[in-house]
Amino acid sequence: MTIDSLHIFAGCHAAGLLSRRPSRPRGTSFVYGSGAPPHAQVSLTMPLRPESWDMDHGLPPIFEMNLPEGMLRDWLTKLFSKAVGEVDDFRLLQLTGHSQIGRLRVANSVAASVVSPAVAPPAMSWKELLAAHSAPGAEELFDHLLRTYAVHSGLSGVQPKVLLPVSEAKQRVLSSRPDRATFQGATHIVKAWREYPELAANEYFCLMAAREAGLPVSQAKLSADGRLLVVDRFDFAPDNTDDAPGGSYLGFEDFCVLQGKQSARKYVGSYEKAAETMRRFVAPARAASALAFFFEAIAFSVAIRNGDAHLKNFGVLYATPEHGSVTPAPVYDVVTTTAYLPQDQMALTLAGSKKWPNAKRLLAFGVTRCDLSTSQARRAMGRIADSLHATMRKIERYMSDRPEFKAVGTAMLEFWKVGASQLCP
């Protein structure tokens, strides 16, 4: 059956209706329900109002933010195109929007907004995910994850990945009321690699270095064979209230959404404007710490030569949009891209250029755009350089135990040495 209207829920509350626009074949329109409370606001950029929010082409950025890309999108398209016809963005949101990053949920009807445990995705055990596998076995495991969890995986990014619940975190239905949102299901993101060898281990060590530098980072575990990276969801908030037994999902919006851009424009912009985006949307009392974090995140990406630090790889979190609770999302999706693309550059511009900046340019960014003193910026850069040196020793040990990682690991070490030396010349 063709569905041209989707019910949108924010947390546990009905928010409104997203529909195709009959007059615009590719257009959509979102309108809040007449009884929607203030905390049912779907985005920091879309306050409640009686008028509709219209798009002539595609979805409003907040609804397009989590659409699967790359391998996951290809998989879903092949799986459902025969049954539903063209799997465009609207249809993809219909398929995956019931389980996605952040607090929004999508359903075909109000009655379908509560997911029964009988149809919720099954939990996987840590043992299954992290145990060593032969190479063919690992491929088969991720193919199994795709078959089982693809339709429960509303998350962007071209790297093969799925959302799933692990067995230590039991699924719970949040409420049996028809105006309430879905179950507390997926607790982790599982990432694999196909095109870029050892990408899971690459990201694992980048996250380790970020944590060593004092940056907020979700916990991550690497499978014994290095093929899978299992990352805690940073948008899940444990709780034991009647409204959210076991926990609830926080609001999350990436910088594409906050700048009113669709995902295709994630490489269009500057880190200066991104800093202003952070300043504009975080709670005023947290602005200074948020900008300091943003500077450190940029300096870290420069040091590890992460050429994919685009607008979708920065975001904010909040419990409810009207309570002034907006904080920066932790560091996520960080890899040394130059291990595969040696000539790679920055994803966005800094001082008008995408070339890797030296210490002087970074310091100027920290002082003029992130409100740091020169000494504060220098100390942050020194911590990052120290964290890279500490993590490089762990990479060397891992390379000795896993020869398959040697080529990628050696490239990472070379680029990290250059990056660290440029932070502290």
pLDDT top residue among 115 and 352: 352
Q: What angle do CA 39, 44, 45 make, to 5 degrees?
A: 130
Beta bridge partners of 270: 349
CB 425 within 8 A of CB 357: no
Closest CA to 6 of 97, 85, 86, 79: 97
**Is 110's pLDDT higher than 70?**
no
CB 220 within 8 A of CB 334: no
pLDDT top residue among 78 and 220: 220
CB 15 within 8 A of CB 102: no
SS3 label, residue 77: helix
40-82 per-position pLDDT tens digit: 999 999 999 999 999 999 999 999 999 988 888 888 888 787 6
Closest CA to 233 of 293, 168, 163: 163
**Is 132's pLDDT higher than 60?**
no
CA within 13 Å, CB half, 123: 15
Over residues 174-183, the mean pLDDT reads 36
250-308 per-position pLDDT tens digit: 999 999 999 999 999 999 999 999 999 999 999 999 999 999 999 999 999 999 999 99
Torsion of CA 16, 17, 18, 22, to 10 degrees: -140
Report the distance separating Cα 136 and Cα 415, nearest Å: 31
CB 299 within 8 A of CB 369: no
**DSSP H/E element including 363:** helix 359-369
pLDDT at 334: 97
In the chain, how long is the greatest CA-to-CA distance? Answer: 63
Cβ contacts of residue 292 below 8 Å, gap of 6+?
370, 371, 372, 376, 380
Percent helix, strand, coil in the chain (nearest 5)? 40, 20, 40
> How many CB atoms sit inside 10 A of residue 26's CB?
14
User: Tokens in use for 53?
Assistant: 């929010």
CB 232 within 8 A of CB 332: no
Domain boundaries, the chain: 252-425
Report the distance separating Cα 263 and Cα 147, nearest Å: 25
pLDDT top residue among 6 and 83: 6
Closest CA to 423 of 371, 372, 373, 388: 388
**Helices and strands (DSSP H and E) totals, the chain:** 12, 14
Report the distance separating Cα 218 and Cα 2, nearest Å: 39
Report the distance separating Cα 205 and Cα 392, nearest Å: 9
What is 333-382 written as a DSSP string? Answer: S---GGGT-TT---SSBBTTB-SPP-HHHHHHHHHHHS---HHHHHHHHH
CB 256 within 8 A of CB 265: yes
Q: How far is CA 203 from the centre of its chain?
A: 14
CATH of domain 252-425: 1.10.1070.20
Mean pLDDT in the chain?
86
Report the distance separating Cα 173 and Cα 182, nearest Å: 7
CB 237 within 8 A of CB 246: no
> How many CB atoms sit inside 10 A of residue 137's CB?
12
19 — pLDDT class (breaks 50, 70, 90): very high
Over residues 165-169, the mean pLDDT reads 61
Cβ contacts of residue 122 below 8 Å, gap of 6+?
148, 165
- pTM score above 0.85: yes
Report the distance separating Cα 158 and Cα 94, nearest Å: 20
